[in-house]
Each structure stands twice: as C-alpha cells, then as structure tokens.
Amino acid sequence: MSASLDTGLTRGDYPLSVNRPELLRTPTGKPITALTMDAVVSGELSAEDLRIAPETLELQAQLADASNRPQLAMNFRRAAEMCAIPDAEVLGMYNALRPRASTAAGLAALADRLETTWSAPVCAGLVREAAEVYARRDLLARAGAEDGEDTP
C-alpha cells in the first residue's frame, strides 16, 4: 500500500467508476467490472469483494487534493490505513479515544499498535496528537477512578 500510485489523476477523471474503471479493484484483487449479477448468483462474490481497497482510497485522496480539499484527502489516507483493521478493533480504537477512556500509556500503546501492527502512521499521529491535548485538558483516564460514579 505504501507504493505511491502516481497516477496524476485530475478532476476530469471523476467519477472513477465511469471514467477510470480500469483503476478500480476490490481488496481481493478483482476488477470492479467483475462485480456482475452473474458473479453474485454463481456465488463467486463474497462480502469481502464489496469493500473498498486502500489503493482506491489513495486515488480518491488524489482527487480530493486536486479539488483543493486537503482535509478530505487526509481523511481518505487515514481510511486507507484502516482498511485492514477488523471492524471490532476499529470500534475498540474509537472507544479508546473517547474522553477519559484511556490513560496516557494506553493511548501511546494504541498509537504504537497502529504504527507497527497496521502500518498506519497517519492514524498513529492523530492518536498521539489526541494524547497530548487530552493531557493538557484533563481528558485522560484517571488511574483507579471508578467508572460511572457520580459522587463528588
């Protein structure tokens, strides 16, 4: 995935599904044109074939860049890194980023896991940035605090 696809996409290539279908593949390596009703009926396709591939998100990021939308492009690049992470773990990571849900060490470990296990340096950067702000704004988990207690 790190192989940067220098496709030189411009706004005129959008929509890719119409103008550049040859660039689009499923995570299982099938061309998008293989997603036909015949293939569905014959059972050749699985749910996995209807997911987006990280390479496609990179293409969409290039289109977002070409449209002057750097934040949107950055979102797509984080998303590309997340494609491989299982659903449950993605939700777990999201929950870990909620206010006072994680300690500084917990967030540091999460960032490391993103970086090393999932090769997701952009996502890791977002988590590290959150950890820094949470520390300053008292949003890290309080060690030993009882969850859900409302006593003053």
Partner 1 sequence: MTTAQPRPAGQPRHSLRTDILEARPVNLDGFVEEWPEKGLVAMESEFDPAPSVRVEDGRIVELDGRQRADFDFMDSFIADHAIDVASAEESNALPSAEIARMLIDPRASRDDVLAVTRGLTPAKVLDVLKLMNVVEIMQGMQKMRARRTPANQAHSTSARDNPVQVAADAAEGALRGFAELETTLGVLRYAPLVAIALQVGAQVGRGGVLTQCALEEATELELGMRGITAYAETISIYGTESVFIDGDDTPWSKAFLASAYASRGIKMRFTSGTGSEVQMGNAEGKSMLYLEIRCILMAKGAGVQGLQNGSISCIGVPGAVPGGLRAVAAENLVASMMDLECASGNDQSFSHSAMRRTARMMPQLLPGTDFVCSGYSAVPNADNMFAGSNFDTEDYDDWNTIQRDFQVDGGLRHVREDEILLARSKAARALQALFAYLDLPAVTDDEVEAATYANSSADYPFRDVLADLKGAQAVMDRGITGLDIVKGLESAGFHDVAENLLTVLRQRVSGDLLQTSAVLTADFTPLSAINDPNDYAGPGTGYRLEGERWAELKKLRHVTSATDPESEVG
Partner 2 sequence: MTTATPDRTVSLRELGPATRGTRPDEVVIAVSPAFAGHFSKTIVEVPHAEVLRQLMAGIEEQGVGARLVRVRDTADLAAIAHIGAKLSGSGISVGILSRGTTMIHQKDLARLSNLELFPQSPLLDPAVFRMIGSNAAQYAKGESPQPVPTRNDQMARPRWQAKAALLHLKEFECIEAGRGPVEVEAVFELTDAG
Partner interacting with residue 83 (select from partner 1, partner 2, none; CB below 5-8 Å by kind):
partner 1
Using CB under 8 A as the binding rule, whether residue 108 contacts partner 1 is answered as no
Total residues at interface with partner 1 (CB under 8 A): 61
> Which member of 1, 52, 108, 109 binds partner 1 (CB under 8 A)?
52
Partner interacting with residue 78 (select from partner 2, partner 1, none; CB below 5-8 Å by kind):
partner 1
Using CB under 8 A as the binding rule, whether residue 145 contacts partner 1 is answered as no
**What CA–CA distance (Å, rounded) separates 90 from 16?**
27
- Residues near 40 by beta carbon (within 8 Å), at least 6 away in sequence: none
Angle value at C-alpha 77, between 75 and 81, nearest 5 degrees: 115
**What CA–CA distance (Å, rounded) separates 68 from 61?**
11
Using CB under 8 A as the binding rule, whether residue 15 contacts partner 2 is answered as no
Closest-CA residue to 80 (of 132, 127, 27)? 27
Least distance to partner 1 from the beta carbon of 8, Å?
A: 16
